[in-house]
Every structure is written in C-alpha cells, then in structure tokens.
Structure 1
Amino acid sequence: MLEELVARVQVRIELLRTQKQLDQCNEQFTTILESIGQGACLFDADQRLVLSNRRYAEVYGLAPEMIRPGMTLSEITELRYSVGACPVVASDEYLAWCDSINSRSSSQDWSMELKSGKVIRVHHERTSDGGWVSTHEDITEHRTAERQIVHLALHDPLTDLPNRAALKPKLDAMLEQHRTQGSSFAVLCLDLDRFKEVNDVFGHNVGDLVLSLAAKRLSEVAHGAFVARLGGDEFMVLVEADANSIAQLADVIISALSEDADIEGARIRMGTSLGVAVYPADGDSAADLMGNADAALYRAKADGRGVARFFEPQMDKWLRERRALQRDLQAAISQQQLSVFYQPQANIGGDVTGFEALLRWNHPSQGNIPPSVFIPIAEESSLMIEIGAWVLQEACREAASWPRKLFIAVNLSPVQFKHGDLTGLVRSVLIETGLEPERLELEITEGVLIDDQERAISTLGHLKALGVRIAMDDFGTGYSSLSYLQSFPFDKIKIDQSFVRNIGLSQSSAIIRAVIGLGRGLDLPIIAEGVETTDQLAFLTRESCDQVQGYLVGRPRPISDYGKHVGRADEQPVSIPPDMPRNTVEIETQKGRSKILSLGQDRAPTQT
C-alpha cells in the first residue's frame, strides 16, 4: 500500500511539474504572441477560435474581451460588421469568400480595404488538423504613403493636375477606346501668353500663383475632361466631343484664362493661346496628336495670341520651316547675314530730316527674308534682345558719322522693354558712338504699353531723361492710342501706312485729318508712313501733315545710296519727273514737291 501511495505521489508530483512547465510555456507563448505588432489568431477545423492576441481585436476596432476562444468565425465576422470593420460586401458574401480561402492547401496573402478606410493585410496558413492560423496587419499608413508616392509621380506638385507621365497612358487608353468605337476625341494644347514676363517682372512666387489660378480656372471650365500640366506654363486637355463642342470649349477656355487676376497686390494680365488636334483626322498615335496640337498652338501664337487654331496639314510644314528659320536666324547674327538699311524721312518741303533704320536679313540659301517673317520669330525667342541691341549700336554708329546732323529713328520691340536694362543699353550706346541724344528717335508701338503699361511708361521716362526722342509708331491701329498719349509726353506721332494706303476712302481720310488735328492740338509733329503716290502726298500736304516717309520719298537702302543726303557728297540738282502734277501751287511749292519725288524716283508699288 505504501509503495502504491508513494508511486501515486510521485506521479502527481511529476504531473504538477509538467503542468508548471506547461504553464510556463503558455505564459511565454502568450508573451510572444502579444508582443508582435500584428494581430494573430488560430482556428480549428470547425472554424472555432482556439486563441488570439489582443492586437487581433484591436486591428478591427474591437475590445479584446469581445473575442474569446470557442467563438466561430461567423460570430467574429458579425462583430466586425457591427462596428464597420469589414469589407464593402455583405457578410454572407464575405464568409463564402473566406470558405474558399480555407479550402486551399497553399498559403494565401491578400489586402482588403474596410468601410472605415483601413487597409488590412492578411497572411493565411492551413494547419495539419484542418484549421488555420493567420496574421492581420494594419497597413493603412503604408498604403497611404504608397498612394502618395504614386500620386506625386503622376501629378504636378504645384497645381495637383496630372502630369506628362499620367497623360501618356490616358491618351493611349483613349486611342484604344476610340479605335474600337470608331469615334473621335480632341487634344487641346495651350500655354499662357506672356508668362515669362510675369516671372521676370513679379518673381517666381507670383508666377506659381498665376499657374495655380490658371489650373483652377481650366479645370472648372473643362469639367469632365482630362486636364494635365506638361510643365512650365503648358497644359493639355483631352476631351470627348464633336467639332462644334470642341470649338466652343476652346473659346470658353480662352475667355476664362484671359481674365485679369489680382495676385500679391499686383494686377496680372492673363491670356492663353490654344491648338487643337482631333482623332483620327489629325493623327492615329499619341505622338502625332500631341505634336500636331503643339503645331496648331504655335500657329495660334504666331497669329497674334489669344486665339485657338485647329491643326491643318500644312501647319506641320510651316512649323518645321519656322523652327528652321529660328535656328538660321541665330546663326545669322554671328555670320553677319544681318544688315541695316535706311529709309529717308522728309518734311513736306522735300528736305530730308532723318532716316529710319530697318533691319534686313539676306539668307544664304533663301535670299532676302521679309522682316514680317523673321522679326516675330526673333521676338518669340531671346534673339530679339541681341538683335535689337546690335541694330541700335549699328544705327547710332552710322548716324554719328554723318556730316549733317539728321535724326536716326530706331524701332524698339516690346521684348526689349520686358527683358534686360534698356535704359542702360541706350545710355552705353550713346556714350560709345558719340551720337547726340537729341538725334536719336526711338519708335515704339502700342504693344509696348499693352502688357505692362506702368513699367513701360517708367522705362520711357528714363529713356527720355537721356535726351532722346520718343515716337508713337503705327498710331491709330490699336484700341487705346489716345489714352497712351495722355499717359506719356511723346515727341512725334506716326500715322500707320494702312490709313495712307486707303486715303481715298472717307473713313481713312477722316482718321488722318483727326490725327493731324490732334498733333496740332498737342504741338506734336505728325509723320505719315507708306506714302507711295503723288495723290497721297497732295492730300497730306493739304492737311498740313509735317513729314512723310515711304517709297515716294525713298526706299530702304544701304546708307551709301544716300550719301549726298547725309552730307557725304555734293547735292545734285533735281529734275521734276513727268508724273509731277503741275497744278499744285496752292498745295506746296514746286521745288519742295520735286525734292520729294526726286528722292523716290525708283519707287516700287508696295511699301515694306
């Protein structure tokens, strides 16, 4: 009996020792299970919970005591659905999906987004007894970071619009869709007019605000379309619409982006030009459509900005030729292909009072390129700054060498007012060439004043302080010429040749009379350009116009052809040409008319 009792006691002691060890193991296992950052759970073959850690409950927004061993997967799922920690599908559909996962022998990994917005990553392993063990990790922050990275890769950080990287797959997808459907869509390419000037004048911070505002306006008016910023001030819009709707949208975009903006206390004048390419007529690939929309945009800017142009096949050739000319023009500066011609200006008495310096380009293979072609190209690039400085230097150097103290008129481009130190340039040229400031006449058009009148008026004031004269060129062709005369004390007004050309029309004649009368009232000399016929000269003389310029007076030529007029040769006696009218005593002396006609004996039918 004693031996049996001892044996039982020993067994009991051994069992207690084993239980203690088991308790210690369980405690260690629980500690390990609770220490991991993931939720963990073990289910048996009957889909009943064997064990789980606190994190498993917390991942799904449940109190740890709500989940107990012995609960079924269905019961736990209902708890999750009650607090919204569940997928968007119904609970029975979700449980059916879980059953399909449990029936697979291999391990499974998946992520699910809950109604609450959380994203949970699950790793699932089958156990040998038919149950399973799984881990549940909250990867919401990680997924958010991933999405932010993807968003940043595909969106412009300034405007939050899709960028070029996002545009390409979208355009490819639209091409595939519309090829299948046999339908059309449009690619609109646009950029902001005069945006570089905004950066130069107001700084990049204001420029960024202008871009953000433009993106906002564009997104609002192009609602439903795909709007992307390609970089800089260039945007692209993909829109599904017919031709009429596309044209209407283009007009709406131009209108929206042409409204001035008050930014950082500055009044910013905004504007845009727009090019359109339509699938499939204008291209069957992303590259073709984007390139052709860009060509149409380039043409819109060349046509005066603030307009929309649909792509036409000849535009591609035109754009290639224009870009080639831009490259050639850059080379022309260093290869001395540019020259300055001089056109005389005379008073009504026929005496030459000065010359206008006119730029000419003799292209090595294309011959003489008209200024109307290459000047806009130069103004679109930085070339106009260099070319303008060279023309000013050359004209002043030449005029300083004349024995006769005649005026020299030099045209200034709006570009020269917006970039660089124009006043400093003129000052240094006058000092270097020795030309008296009062002999230099700087001609500007209304375009100088349109973009930033306050800055332009300030620059003109500094120029006039140097002693030079300022002339308003092409007067009457703009909308605000009269208001500009009130803003600045100009020294001369030039009547645009379009009015002189149509001098026989009552409207043009009335405008010329009004401008001459305005000049008398303001005590400003008036010069009419584009004078080609004796009838035009007779009219201008009757109306007491002060000066004339045009082929009737003289063509633009090298200054060597006008040596006698600048005092380098003896004045030759002039003869009255056969077409000189004889009944003009009341208009002007015959001598004065003859002088004018003698200057332009080789006149051509058109003015350039």
Structure 2
Amino acid sequence: MIKPASPIRSSQPLIILAGNFEDAAPVAARLRELGWSCVCSPDYPTFEQQARLLKPDLLLLDSGVSDAFVGDGKRRKGIEYIPAIHLVSAAADRAPAFAAGAVDCVVKPILLEELVARIQVRIELLRTQKQLDQCNMQFTTILESIGQGACLFDADQRLVLSNRRYAKVYGLAPEMIQPGMTLSDITELRYSVGACPAVASDEYLAWCDSINSSPSSQDWSMELKSGKVIRVHHERTSDGGWVSTHEDITEHRTAERQIAHLALHDPLTDLPNRAALKQKLDAMLEQHRTQGSPFAVLCLDLDRFKEVNDVFGHNVGDLVLCLAAKRLNAVAQGAFVARLGGDEFMVLVEADANSIAQLADLIISALSEDADIEGTRIRMGTSLGVAVYPADGDSAADLMGNADAALYRAKADGPGVARFFEPQMDKWLRERRALQRDLQAAISQQQLSVFYQPQANIGGDVTGFEALLRWNHPSQGNIPPSVFIPIAEESSLMIEIGAWVLREACREAASWPRKLSVAVNLSPVQFKHGDLTGLVKSVLIETGLEPERLELEITEGVLINDHERAISTLGHLKALGVRIAMDDFGTGYSSLSYLQSFPFDKIKIDQSFVRNIGLSQSSAIIRAVIGLGRGLDLPIIAEGVETTDQLAFLTRELCDQVQGYLVGRPRPISDYAKHVGRADEQPVSIPPDMLGLPVASGTYSPSGSTSFG
C-alpha cells in the first residue's frame, strides 16, 4: 500500500523506495527500525511526483523504475542531483545506471543486510557532506565578513581561495579573480588598473618570491601608484604555499599623517606650533654652537587683538590670525615662523644684526596694514622683541624668555615698536610681573585707597572732587598710578579695580552734606569688557548718589579702538543722568571729531598745555580750546594748575574751572572735611610720598577755605 506523500520533512533522513520489488516491505521496515523515514512508490510516475515534492535524501530504485530513470534523461531532469542506488537485474545494467548518475548498484537478487549496509554508508556520507557543506558555508561567511582581503595560494603559486574583499582592495571586480589563477596572473591584473607599486612587475614578482621563500611570517605596508596604502600579513603554510591578508589602510595612514602634522602644527594657521619651534630651536642651537654663527629669535604679538575678539567675535579674530600668519610667512622669506598660541608668534632667522633689524621693520610694516575681513575694516599692528644668539642667551629657554622680555618692553613703548633685548629688560620685566602679582594681592589686602583732588570754579569755589586711585605697597611705599595703572589695564585687574573705585567714590560722595560732584576716570578696558552701563546703574542705586553729581571722565583711547561701540555705551550712560567729560583734550589727533560725535558735558584741558602756558604754542591751544567750549556751550576745566601765573592766564581767558596743586593736592577726603560740609572731622596724617611733588616757588596753597584767590 502506497502511503500518501507529505511535504513536511522531519529531521530523519528520507528515502524513497521506487518499484514493486518483492523485498520492498522488509527493506522499508528495516530502515524504519534504524530511524529513517521511508516512502514507497509502486511506479515511475508516482516516484517522479514524490521525488520532486519531497526532495528526499536518497533514492532506492528497483529495476523497472531504474530502467525508466536511465532511459529518459528529460524526465529525470531536476531530480538527478538526488543520490540514487539502483537495483539492477544483471551486471550488464550497472554501466548505464552509473552513467545516469547512480551512486551505487546492487545486482538482484538482493541480500537485505548488504543493501541496508550500503544505504547506511550512503546516509553517513550524506550526513558528512551536509556537515562539510555547513562548515564551508560558515567558513565562507567568516571569510567574507572579515575586514581584510584574504587569499590562500598553494606551493605552485596558484590561488586556492580568496574572498571578495581581496579583489576589491586592489580595485578589481571579484569575478576577475578565480581559484587556479597564478600569482603572476593576478599581478598582471593589478598592474593593468594601477593597483601596484611603483616598480616593474618583474621586479615586484621577484620580491614576492623572496618573501614566499622566507619561513617566518612577514608584515609590510605598500603604497600603490593609485595612492592607496595596503598593509599585508604573510604566513607560510605547511605544504609550501602561503596565506595572506591585505588591508586598505589609506585612511588610517592619512589619519596618522594628520595626527603627526597636528602634533607639530597649529590647527588654525597651519604654522608650526610651540613643540615644532622647540625642536627647530634646539637643532639651530646645536648647529650654531658648532659654527659659532649668530641667529635671532623674534617674538611678536598683535596689537589690539583682544579688542578684535571682543568686538567682532572669535570667528573674525581667527581670520585675522590666519591673515597675520600669511603675511608673516610672506615677509619672513624662508625663516621659521611659528604660532605659540593666541596672537603670539615667533620667528627664527639666521642673519646678522642689520638684516634682523630690517626683517623686524618689514614684519611691523606688513602687519600694520589694515585688514578687510568679511567687509569689515580691521586695524592691525604688532609689537616685536628680538633676542640674538649667543649674546642674549645660549639655551632655548633663555632666548625665548629674553625675546619675550624685549617684546614686553616694546609693547610698553609701542604700539608698532621693535626692541632688541638688553640685560636690564630682564630685571624690568621681572619687577613688572612682580608688581602685577602684588597688585592682585593689593585688592584683597586693602592696600588700595581713593584720594580726592578738589575742582573749583575760576572764582575759587570748590564745585567737586576727582577720585584718584593710590596704592601704598607694604614694602615699596607709594607706587605711582603711572606705573600700576598700565599693569592693571594689561590684565583683567582693571575691571575689578575700576568697579571698586567707582563704588567707593559714589558711596563717599553720597555721604557729603554738600551736594558736590565727584569725577571718576573710566579706563578703555572697562568699555571693552563687561556691562559698564549696568555697573554704573547698580552703583548709583546701591549708594543712593544722584546721577547728576557723578561725572565720568574718558580719554580718547576709549573712542579710538571701537568708536561705534564706545559712542553707544556713552549714550546709555548719559541716559542714566550722569555727566561725561572728555579728559586730556588736545593730546590726540582727532579730538575735534569726537566732540562732533557725542554731546560731552565738559572738556578738560590736559596739564601738559597748562604746564607750558608760557610758551606761545601752548597758550594758543588753551585759548582755542576755551573758545571752542564757549562756542559749543561746554564748560572747560584746566588741570595741573600749580602757580598763580597759570591761574591768572586762565582767568583772563575766561576758563570755567581749574584743578591742580594750587587748588589742592590729592588727599583723603577727611582732609577736605570743611569743603564737603563736615566741619567736625579732623585731617588724617598721611605719608609725604603720597602727596606728590612739592609746590613750586610762587604757588598758592589753599588754607582750607572753600575758595581761593
């Protein structure tokens, strides 16, 4: 009885027994005992249908079905791949059966145990083949999934196997490389597409032979004509062949080069960095010690660069740095140019003193040209310090430090100045930096104080005081403002100090019984950093001082560097109700233009003109300023008035107000108790060195009254 075919396969081997041979039933029973599934087909049509549907593991064909299977090639198409054991009637029928694809033939009559044994061998072979196929599939999957190209050659230099990536690494289509190809064949393909080293193919193959003959493993990297870099690992096999992996490391090598480049170069300007400068400087020192010849270290930074960053933003600042680097490289003419960080650059040049001085002038000239950055005109400039080997140092640290000291002095004398190192500069720089550290401590240790100098109208009545900062150093005594104010302005200290002075002066003035004005100087630094308007507003609220009693004095330096921003800030300040005075008027080149751009409340004539009032030029300037003030309806105050002759001249010219030693020295406000309406306060004793210079002969010292004259 024929069992119906089922398309559902179990994990057991499936065997179709085809034909009506007399031993089919016992054979099927025996196979089932062994755990195999069996389906019996009585004739060829049924067998063909079941074979195509069930796709069994093995066919067992009786002679009748075998003859049909062998004789009809078309009908067996599609199932000929299934292993088949043929039961033939005579030995002569074996040949056609094997020709038709039989894996075994048994001549009838059959011996059951022999047939079962043969089937069992065949099933085991099938199982082994399936396991091998599974392993091959896993091996192929792994081989294709690894990140490198892989290949195996035999002892005759013929390809046994490779993955697709092996071809792709060399820019070849995977189907172009097939097992059996020789190394020479593959090399020829590689050379045809340029995936080869820059040597002749014969030379390359000879090199490969030398590698293949080595018993030890080999690793190398190879740069191809195409620009690729391939890393190869090569291992000999026991049969004389080899296996190798091929990895495209072009991106990795490029990244390594970039990292190596970045280690010694500034990422913004692409100039050598501090590490590269140190290497170069050490090499030059070794060379020039041997030669006994000089070379120079030039240290420079950009003038007003911090203002550019603050006003226009860091993007514009970066563009300015790149432009400066480009100009430096162009003018340095082969000298070593490095960026140390921020706006600081250093140049190493092998030249004599005259050539070094000429290069310094060229650099200052090149970096002083205005820059057009994204439609904005940026003022540029530089200061420069020079140290020369061996006179100014015989080590990298000494030369760089002394060049920096010369730069520091140049900036103090600057802008746009170059200075060669001099021995006293080192001491000067150390002292200046020590003062900067001490000044920072002075803020927290309350070494700073505010003195007040009276201002009076020309008739002698005191109308207000100017708040002046003083520093009584614990070991050096009084440090002149002309010394410590520039130091404070070079750092962020001026922001903190300026805020403290403003708050202290307003607090003091708010306590005066008489409603006198108080003048406070503003530094250009305060306009560049922080919220100056917010500071003044909060101080007025905090101290309760009426805004109209506060007079803020500014110099041209506030307006020169960022005119639009300064004018905007001054407008906001004036909107608070405070008054704005132009200090040191006449000393700049554009004072008149500033009077047009902002409605100042007062003009202060600089003391340099008052001091030289006997000279026709100074007296003419004073007359012109007073006349200008009268025309603009602005009060004029002359500072630095020390003699009665100076006072008499200013009186004749109808100057509105005066300030100076003739009116009163800068002193603690308690010394002016009567002037501010505190008759019960006593003057305090202060060190003589904090009172300034003695009054010159013929001057008038006020007696403590509220007027003079």
TM-score (norm 1): 0.78
Secondary structure at the residue paired with 2:437?
A: helix
- CA distance, structure 1, for counterparts of residue 409 and residue 177 of structure 2: 71
Partner of residue 239, structure 1: 349
For residues 128-168 of structure 1, the C-alpha deviation after alignment (integer angstroms, 9 at most, x for no partner) is 89886654432212212323333444444444444444443
Note the C-alpha offset of 1:412: 0.9
SS in 2 for 1:106: coil
Which moved further from structure 2: 443-452 or 457-466? 457-466
Structure 2: gaps spanning 5 or more residues:
1-110, 691-696
Q: SS state of the match for residue 235, structure 1?
A: strand
1:265 Cα offset (Å): 6.5
Residue 466 and residue 141 in structure 1: after superposition, are their counterparts in 2 closer, same or farther (change >3 A)?
closer
Contact preservation (8 Å) 1:111, 1:120: yes
Contact 1:396/1:430, CA 8 A, preserved across alignment: yes
Q: CA deviation at 1:482?
A: 0.9
TM, length-normalised to structure 2:
0.68
How far did residue 510 of structure 1 move?
Answer: 3.0
- Aligned to 2:699, the other structure's residue is in SS state helix
Residues 191, 578 of structure 1: alpha-carbon distance in 2 compared, 3 angstrom cutoff: closer
Q: Does 2:426 match 1:323?
A: no
Question: How many Å apart are 1:546 and its aligned residue?
Answer: 2.9
Cα root mean square deviation, aligned: 6.2
Quick one: structure 1 residues 296 and 353, their matched pair in 2 at CA, closer, same or farther if it must change by over 3 Å?
Answer: same
The aligned residue for residue 21 of structure 1 is: 131
| Cα deviation code 1:68-88 (max 9, x no counterpart) | 999998897677556544444
Most deviating of 398-407 and 84-93: 84-93
SS at 1:230's partner residue?
strand
Once the 2 structures are TM-superposed, how far is the Cα of residue 391 of structure 1 from its aligned partner? Answer: 1.6
Deviation at 1:403?
4.0
Say if 1:14 and 1:334 are closer, same or farther in 2 by CA, change over 3 A.
closer
CA distance, structure 2, for counterparts of residue 65 and residue 488 of structure 1: 82
Q: 219-228 or 571-580, which moves further after superposition?
A: 571-580
Q: Which piece of structure 1 moves more, 191-200 or 50-59?
A: 50-59
| Structure 2 partner of 1:345 | 455
Task: Give the Cα–Cα distance (whole angstroms) in 2 for the partners of residues 607 and 273 of structure 1.
Answer: 48
Whether the 8 Å CA contact 1:350–1:596 is kept in 2: the answer is no
Structure 1 contact 516–544 (Cα < 8 Å) conserved: yes
- Indicate if the aligned counterparts of 1:550 and 1:607 stay in contact, CA closer than 8 A: no
CA distance 1:358–1:269, shift in 2 (3 Å): same
CA distance in 2, matches of 1:314, 1:384: 27
2:194–2:226 CA contact under 8 A, matched in 1: yes
> In the alignment, is the contact (CA less than 8 A) between 1:342 and 1:559 conserved in 2?
yes
Do the aligned partners of residues 357 and 3 (structure 1) sit closer, same or farther apart at CA in structure 2, a change above 3 Å counting? Answer: closer
CA shift in 2, pair 1:185/1:91, >3 Å: farther
Question: Distance between the aligned counterparts of 1:369 and 1:607, measured in 2?
Answer: 30
* Pair 328,572 (structure 1): closer, same or farther in 2 beyond 3 Å: closer
Match of 2:199 among 80, 89, 95: 89
2:589 pairs, out of 449, 462, 479, with 479
Deviations 1:70-114 (A, max 9, x none): 999889767755654444466677677667656755433221222
Structure 2 CA distance for aligned equivalents of residues 4 and 523 of structure 1:
134
Q: Which stretch has the larger CA shift, 565-574 or 207-216?
A: 565-574
The 3 A distance-change label for structure 1 pair 349 and 106 is same
How far is 1:486 from its partner? Answer: 0.6
Once the two structures are TM-superposed, the CA of residue 485 in structure 1 deviates from its matched residue by: 0.7
Q: What residue is the counterpart of 1:173 in the other structure?
A: 283
How far apart are 1:502 and its partner, in Å?
Answer: 3.0
Against the structure 1 CA distance between its residues 128 and 455, is the aligned structure 2 distance closer, same or farther, given a 3 Å change threshold?
Answer: same
Of 309-318 and 448-457, deviating more is 309-318
Aligned in 2, Cα 1:102/1:314: closer, same or farther, shift over 3 Å? farther
Query: Partners of 1:567 and 1:516 in 2: how far apart?
Result: 31
Between 1:198-207 and 1:442-451, the stretch displaced more is 198-207
CA distance in 2 between counterparts of 1:447 and 1:207 reads: 21
SS at match of 2:675: coil
Determine helix, strand or coil for the equivalent of 1:327: helix
CA offset digits 1:556-607 (Å, max 9, x no partner): 2223333344444499999999999xxxxxxxxxxxxx99823xxx999999
Distance 1:48 1:333 in 2: 85
Separation in 2 of the partners of 1:50 and 1:340?
A: 94
Seen in structure 2, the aligned counterparts of structure 1 residues 79 and 604 have a Cα distance that, compared at 3 Å, is farther
Determine helix, strand or coil for the equivalent of 1:245: helix
Moved more, 498-507 or 215-224: 215-224
Structure of higher RCO (CA pairs closer than 8 Å, 6+ residues apart)? 1
Judging changes above 3 Å, is the alpha-carbon distance between structure 1 residues 577 and 394 closer, same or farther for their aligned structure 2 residues?
closer
- The equivalent residue for 1:424 is 534
Instruction: Call closer, same or farther: CA 1:352–1:95 in 2, change over 3 Å.
Output: same
| Residue 524 of structure 2: aligned partner | 414
CA distance in 2, matches of 1:180, 1:507: 60
SS at match of 1:565: helix
- The residue that corresponds to 1:230 in the other structure is 340
Query: Match for residue 380 of structure 2?
Result: 270
Q: CA deviation at 1:238?
A: 3.7
Residues 347, 31 of structure 1: alpha-carbon distance in 2 compared, 3 angstrom cutoff: closer
1:521-576 CA distances to partner (integer Å, 9 max, x unpaired)? 22222222223344434443443333332233332222333334444449999999
C-alpha distance in structure 2 between counterparts of 1:606 and 1:413, whole Å: 31
For residues 578 and 279 of structure 1, the distance between their equivalents in structure 2, rounded to whole angstroms, comes to: 47
Q: 1:118 aligns with which of 219, 222, 228?
A: 228
Aligned-pair CA distance for 1:374: 0.6
Contact 2:220 2:232 in 1 (8 A): yes
Task: Name the CA distance, whole Å, in 2 between partners of 1:26 and 1:533.
Answer: 111
Q: Distance in 2 between matches of 1:412 and 1:137?
A: 67
Give the Cα separation in 2 of the matches to 1:416 and 1:576: 30
Displacement of 1:175 in angstroms is: 3.3
Deviation string for 1:387-417 (max 9, x for gaps)? Answer: 1122222223333344444332211111111
- Give, in whole Å, the separation in 1 of the partners of 2:708 and 2:164: 92
State the shift of 1:442 in Å.
Answer: 1.4
- Decide whether aligned partners of structure 1 residues 90 and 296 sit closer, same or farther in structure 2, where only a CA change above 3 A counts: farther
Does structure 1 conserve the Cα–Cα contact (< 8 Å) formed by 2:459 and 2:707? Answer: no
Matches of 1:558 and 1:204 in 2, distance apart? Answer: 44
Cα gap change, 1:253/1:438 in structure 2, threshold over 3 Å: closer, same or farther? same
Deviates more, 1:225-234 or 1:356-365: 225-234
d(CA) in 1 for partners of 2:624, 2:530: 37
The answer to whether the 8 Å contact 1:402/1:568 transfers is yes
Most deviating of 175-184 and 380-389: 175-184
Change (3 A) 1:298 1:6: same
Instruction: Provide the aligned length of Structure 1 versus Structure 2.
Output: 592
Contact residue 663 and residue 708 of structure 2 kept, 8 A: no
The alpha-carbon distance between structure 1 residues 63 and 425, as it changes in their structure 2 partners (threshold 3 A), is closer
Match of 1:595 among 670, 681, 698: 698
Shift of 1:483: 0.6
Q: Post-superposition shift, 1:493?
A: 1.5
Please, which moves more after superposition, 75-84 or 13-22? 13-22
Asked whether the equivalents of residues 350 and 595 of structure 1 are also in contact (C-alpha less than 8 Å), the reply is: no
Quote the offset at 1:476 in angstroms: 1.5
Give the superposition deviation at 1:11: 20
Greater displacement, 224-233 / 136-145: 224-233
**CA 516–93 in structure 1, closer or farther in 2 if over 3 Å, else same:** farther
State the SS of the aligned residue for 1:568.
coil
For residues 415-442 of structure 1, give each alpha carbon's deviation from its aligned partner in whole angstroms, at most 9, with x where no partner exists. Answer: 1112222223223333343433333221
Q: Give how far 1:29 is off.
A: 10
Q: Which moved more, 1:268-277 or 1:450-459?
A: 268-277
Aligned-pair CA distance for 1:344: 2.5
Q: CA shift at 1:367, angstroms? A: 0.4
- Whether the 8 Å contact between 1:441 and 1:471 is mirrored in structure 2 is yes
The sequence identity of aligned pairs, in percent, is 94
Higher mean C-alpha deviation, range 259-268 or range 424-433: 259-268
- Cα gap change, 1:138 to 1:425, in 2 (>3 Å): closer
Give how far 1:459 is off: 1.6
Q: Deviations over 1:334-386 (max 9, x none)?
A: 22211122223333334433322211110000000010111011111222122
Give the conservation status (yes or no) of the 8 Å contact 1:551–1:604.
Answer: no
Q: CA deviation at 1:226?
A: 4.0
Could you tell me how far 1:2 is from its partner in structure 2?
A: 27
Cα distance between partner residues in 2 of 1:193 and 1:386: 23
Per mean C-alpha deviation after superposition, the further-off stretch among 224-233 and 48-57 is 48-57
Is 325-334 or 308-317 further displaced after alignment? 308-317
Deviation at 1:3, TM superposition (A): 25
Give CA-to-partner distance per residue, 1:295-354, whole Å, 9 cap, x none.
333333333444333333322222222222112112212222111222233333344333
